[in-house]
Structure 1
Amino acid sequence: MPPPGGFEAIRYKRNLPLRGPGGVAILAGVTAISAFGFYRLGQGNLEQRELQREKVWSRLHLVPLLVAEGDRDAYRRDQAALAREKEIMKDVKDWEAGKSVYNNSRYRSRSAIAVI
């Protein structure tokens, strides 16, 4: 026989927990995160462009200093080479130290002479 008060009710409904946010909430979250990411990307691009511009201008302003330093170094090297030539060729009669070995008046830089 059944117990007094009857049998317990049979649970036939599905008792599933909530499975997280809905589709609209997920879409809104992804959109917000993507918008923030694109904003940061744009800010980074602006900063990189400014850094590149700064680098170009700094190089532009340094070029005259580097050229002058190279000219001073070339002058010191020429003077040292002339002194060495005078020392080496001091016993040779009719030798003019520093005179071009080419018989024309066209200007040639030291680097062009070394290549020829």
Structure 2
Amino acid sequence: MSAPYRQDMPPAGGFPQIKYKRNLPFRGPSGIVILGGVTAVCAYGFYRVGLGNLEKRELQREKAWSRIHLVPLLLAEGDRDAYRRQQAALAREKEIMKDVKGWEAGKSVYHDPRYRPADSIVVL
């Protein structure tokens, strides 16, 4: 009672090919494209930094020359202010010391013939 022996055989025409290769989808630009993009962005950034440095240098030069041209005006303004303060101090001294006999307003209290500007005398 045994069944006739039957061997399992491939189908007619053979088995289909086995798909063993990886089938990955396209996942963005290649490395060389990314490197090119980064290089372009960096080059543009350095270009803009260079333009900014040129502008900053020009503004510093302009600032220096404006200060150079303003020095005489500022010195004259300081001299006018110092003269006005000196005259006001002399008027105050005349008013305060008007009752003191022999007091000369504006005369130095030091018995030294050398000139000393008022801002160099330290009052303690």
Q: Would you call these one fold, judging by a TM-score over 0.5?
A: yes
What is the SS of the residue equivalent to 2:27? Answer: coil
Instruction: Work out whether 1:34 is the aligned partner of 2:34.
Output: no
Structure 2 letter corresponding to 1:46: L
Task: Tell me the residue number matched to 1:58.
Answer: 66
Shift of 1:23: 1.5
Which entry has the higher C-alpha Rg, 1 or 2?
2
Task: Tell me the residue number matched to 2:8.
Answer: none
Number of corresponding residues: 107
Structure 2 letter corresponding to 1:54: E
Shift of 1:34: 0.9
Gapped regions of structure 1 (runs ≥ 5): 1-8
Structure-1-length-normalised TM-score: 0.83
Shift of 1:82: 0.4
Gapped regions of structure 2 (runs ≥ 5): 1-15
What is the SS of the residue equivalent to 1:98? Answer: coil
Cα gap change, 1:11 to 1:64, in 2 (>3 Å) = farther
Moved more, 55-64 or 43-52: 55-64
Runs of at least 4 residues off by over 2 Å: 9-16
RMSD of aligned alpha carbons: 1.7
Structure-2-length-normalised TM-score: 0.78
Identity percentage over the alignment?
74
Structure 2 letter corresponding to 1:41: V
Instruction: Work out whether 1:16 is the aligned partner of 2:9.
Output: no
